[in-house]
Amino acid sequence: MTQTRGAVIVGASSGIGEALARKLADEGYEIGLAARRTERMREIGNELPTKSYVATMDVTDTEDARAGFFELAEAMGSVDLVVLNAGVGPFNPKLEWEAERRTVDVNVRGFVALATAAMEYFETVGREDHSSELDGHLVGISSVAAHFGGGGVQAYCASKAFVSTYLEGLRARQRGADSNVSITTVEPGYVDTELSMGDFWECSPETAAKQIARAIRTEKTHVYVTRRWRLVAWALDLTPNWLLRRLL
């Protein structure tokens, strides 16, 4: 008898998170939906073909978010996959402190709080419960913006650079760990969501979810969404700083 797979998606009430919840449910995962908008998550959960669970979560309240994660995982019984998708990206050229602070609170502090909770779960409960070779799979949604510092979105770009580097560090840590946790970094370009900052090569959340689900199945360590955005990332990495300052 095949064990039911469980996936927790943090930031599941809209955009990429919602689309990925629907995609993974179609693939047979039971879904744990975590975000602030409780009623919206219940609506999404009722439309899924598999069992769903809802946890109201504000990642800026890190201790409460971590406790909520473990409660959700316990209610689900088994969690094989955790996707950290919660994020904000306000345009803030005037450097208003509240906007910068919230970006760091959500994209950095909230991310690390849930990433460490997921790893703790995989390295304890996951090792006991999973019948597969993997103890778990952690997916972090970063951005192509991690490759440059854009004026007005400086906190967002820096926070996504943190996410990508932190996940790289977790993969390095895995090489010396007893557990076997797969870790995937997703760097989208423009996706048609509330956070989108342009329409160049913009894709739908459903297209993004399809490509992320494929990366999960194949246990990719890193993926661009859509794949053509790797060209932009490579160009940004190779372009001298003096030229980037003129262009961006």
Helices (DSSP H) in 48-153: which residue ranges?
62-76, 97-104, 111-121, 127-129
3-state secondary structure of 240: coil
What CA–CA distance (Å, rounded) separates 22 from 33? 11
198 burial type by CB count under 10 A (0-12 exposed, 13-18 middle, 19+ buried): exposed
CB 68 within 8 A of CB 117: no
CB 28 within 8 A of CB 20: no
Alpha-carbon distances of 90 from 20, 75, 151, 156, rounded to whole Å = 23, 34, 12, 8
CB 226 within 8 A of CB 189: yes
| Backbone torsions φ then ψ of 31, nearest 5 degrees | -115, 130
Catalytic residue flag (residue 156):
yes
Give the bridge partners for 141, in sequence order: 186
Give the bridge partners for 223, in sequence order: 186
197 burial type by CB count under 10 A (0-12 exposed, 13-18 middle, 19+ buried): middle
For the record, the structure tokens of 14 come out as 């809209």
Residue 43: enclosing H or E segment and its boundaries?
helix 38-47
Catalytic residue, candidates 29, 121, 156, 190: 156
Mind telling me the catalytic residues? Answer: 156
